[in-house]
Amino acid sequence: MFNWMVWTLPVAIVFIGVLVLIIGMTIWGHYSPPKIHKGFLGITTDRGDRVYISYISFAFFMICWIAFVEGALYVGVGLGIALAAVILKWG
């Protein structure tokens, strides 16, 4: 049925991860409502905003890494995750 979507394992993991993330954030938000704070980004965000910002920052960082560094992909992934974590914590 889904043969036409030419599934691969990495893509499946990413999308299931996003789904779990959204559902998890919803349940978490129900039991402990998110607090708004203002970090180094200079805008007021709650944790959902920061998850989104760190997610697209990671994606954009990876594109830049692939475009300008050309290689050492795992170093790039590590740095990208570090960047996302910094935004999540102090953004």
Please identify, using beta-carbon distances, which residue of 55 and 86 lies nearer to another protein: 55
Please identify, using beta-carbon distances, which residue of 38 and 89 lies nearer to another protein: 38
35: Cβ–Cβ under 8 A, 6 or more apart, which residues? 46, 47
Site string for another protein, 5-24 (x = CB under 8 A): xxxx-xx--xx---------
Contact 91, 40 (CB under 8 A): yes
Contact 50, 91 (CB under 8 A): yes
Site string for another protein, 50-69 (x = CB under 8 A): --xx--x--xx--x--xx--
Please identify, using beta-carbon distances, which residue of 15 and 28 lies nearer to another protein: 15
The helix (H) or strand (E) run that includes residue 44 is: strand 44-45
